[in-house]
Each structure stands twice: as C-alpha cells, then as structure tokens.
C-alpha cells in the first residue's frame, strides 16, 4: 500500500468512526428524552373512554341519579382530577367483568326537557343483568344498584332483572328484582332535582355514606373552605326556594 493510499484509508476510517460516534450520541440523547407516550397517557385515555363525562344538562345518567347527587353535580361543574391509582382501580374493576357483558345503551324521557340515559351491562330476551364486584358478598343489593337495575327495566321494557355480585374468589350471589313503578318515580324525582340544581348552579346537599370514603370530592365536602355557601344546609334552603319557583313536582 502506497503512502497516499494509507492516508486515504485513515481518512475514510476516521469518517466512519465519526459517523458511529454520532449515531451512538443520537441514540443516547433519544433514550434520555422522555417518551412521547407513556403508560400514564394510556391510563388517562382509556379512563376517559370508559368514564365519559356528560355535559348536556338535558340528560341525566342512571349512574348520576343513583349515586350522590352532590358528587354528580361536582363531576360536571368542578371535576376533581383522579389519581392514576384511582383510575387504575376503576379500570381493573370494570375490565374484570367486561367478559360477561353485552352492554346496551338506553334512554327514557322523564319530561319534554329531560331524559334519563344509561348503559345496561347485559340485556337478554326477558331479563336485564347487572354485574358487580364486592369484597364480601352482600346479604341485600345496595340501594343504588336497585335504582340502576330498575331504571334499565323501564328503559328496555323488561319485567325483571338480576343483580349478580362476585367476590375476588369468584363466589357469586344473585338477586332477582321485579320492576317497580314507585322506585322509578323516585328516580325521576332525583333526576329533576339534579337538573334544576345544575341549571341554577346550586350545589346539592351532602349525602354522607360509605361512598364518601373513596369519593374524589371528599375534601371539598369534609374539609371545606371559609365559604359557608358550599355547605349542605345552605343548599337545602336554596332548594326550597327553587322548588317553589320552578314548581317541578
Ligand atoms: S364526599 Fe360524600 S357527600 Fe361529598 S360528594 Fe362525595 S359521596 Fe357526596
């Protein structure tokens, strides 16, 4: 190899080494940079799909009306940001039973300006099914589950439904529930109350229950600010005024 060839070969080798170094530096820079989509983004996106928030005040959902009205109001007007742990716990509960579900969306008119909307877990020819998980199998269905199932019986015109509870070991307890006009009357009454309070920006009264333990609005209810107007007694007084004014009953 001549001297000139040797110099050219060294130049080429030098350029190749520079390119390799540049490639390694780029790789390191890329791996140091935060990923564009991480697992937390995925959790937030899936949670938003599984828990869509209703903004249309002419529609009240079965879940809203059967739970704490104050929580339903705050979810719309002053939503609390759930932690990733809270989101994952809801997603895991939902996904555990989704294999049994054949969900069906329904709607029923309460009056000309208000509709009740919801999604039943499973609707068969003559029965509506609801699946829930519990730490311990209950001796009686929870009141909110009665109200939810009864709403679906009215939406899908079925005479009876079944609420099925499972514990983490797969044990099961089921309750057959007939359709109740009286309970549906109470459901409609609560939907009208929530609708009126939403339209008038009046926060509903506290509804203390075991639900408060895991509620995202817990701090707003039990560690309130100086603003006494946020308290339930004030809201109750305000509700009496609105009831008289709107005569919604
Ligand atoms: S903490 Fe209790 S009363 Fe307050 S919004 Fe939640 S469930 Fe309702």
Distance (angstroms) between ligand 1 centre and the Cα of 98 equals 27
Does the structure show a pLDDT above 80 at 99? yes
Does the structure show a pLDDT above 70 at 136? yes
Would you say residue 210 lies in a domain?
yes
Range of the domain at 97: 58-246
Distance (angstroms) between ligand 1 centre and the Cα of 141 equals 20
Would you say residue 106 lies in a domain?
yes
Number of domains within the chain: 1
Would you say residue 50 lies in a domain?
no
- Does residue 5 or residue 190 have the better pLDDT? 190
Name which of 70-84, 89-103, 191-205, 229-243 the model is least confident about. 229-243
Would you say residue 15 lies in a domain?
no
- Does residue 124 or residue 85 have the better pLDDT? 124
pLDDT digits (tens, 9 = 90+) for 163-212: 999 998 889 999 999 999 999 999 999 999 999 999 999 999 999 998 89
CATH of the domain at 86: 3.90.320.10
Would you say residue 48 lies in a domain?
no
217 lines ligand 1 (CB under 6 A): yes
149 lines ligand 1 (CB under 6 A): no
Would you say residue 92 lies in a domain?
yes
80 lines ligand 1 (CB under 6 A): no
Would you say residue 193 lies in a domain?
yes
SS (H, E, C) the chain: CCHHHHHHHHHHHHHHHHHHHHHHHHHHHHHHCCCCCCHHHHHHHHHHHHCCCCCCCCEEEHHHHHCCHHHHHHHHHCCCCCCHHHHHHHHHHHHHHHHHCECEEEEEEEECCEEEEEEECEECCCEEEEEEECCCCCCCCCHHHHHHHHHHHHHCCCCEEEEEEECCCCCEEEEEEECCHHHHHHHHHHHHHHHHHHHCCCCCCCCCCHHHHHCCCHHHHHCCCCCHHHCHHHHHHHHHHHHHHHCCC
Would you say residue 51 lies in a domain?
no
């Amino acid at each position: 190899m001549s001297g000139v060839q040797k110099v050219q070969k060294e130049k080429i080798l030098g350029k190749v080494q520079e390119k390799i170094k540049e490639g390694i530096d780029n790789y390191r820079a890329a791996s140091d940079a935060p990923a564009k989509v991480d697992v937390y983004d995925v959790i937030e996106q899936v949670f938003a799909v599984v828990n869509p928030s209703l903004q249309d005040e002419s529609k009240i959902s079965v879940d809203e009306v059967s739970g704490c009205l104050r929580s339903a109001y705050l979810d719309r007007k002053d939503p609390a940001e759930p932690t990733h742990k809270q989101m994952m716990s809801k997603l895991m509960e939902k996904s555990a039973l989704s294999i049994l579900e054949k969900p069906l969306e329904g709607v029923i008119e309460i009056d000309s300006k208000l509709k009740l909307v919801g999604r039943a877990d499973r609707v068969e020819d003559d029965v509506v099914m609801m699946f829930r998980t519990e730490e311990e199998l209950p001796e009686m269905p929870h009141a909110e589950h009665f109200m939810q199932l009864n709403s679906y019986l009215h939406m899908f015109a079925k005479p009876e439904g079944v609420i099925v509870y499972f514990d983490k070991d797969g044990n099961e307890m089921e309750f057959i529930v007939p359709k109740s006009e009286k309970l549906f009357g109470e459901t409609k009454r609560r939907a009208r109350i929530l609708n009126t309070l939403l339209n008038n920006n009046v926060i509903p009264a506290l509804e203390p229950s075991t639900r408060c333990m895991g509620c995202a609005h817990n701090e707003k209810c039990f560690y309130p600010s100086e603003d006494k107007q946020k308290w339930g007694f004030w809201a109750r007084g305000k509700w009496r005024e609105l009831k008289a004014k709107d005569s919604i009953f």
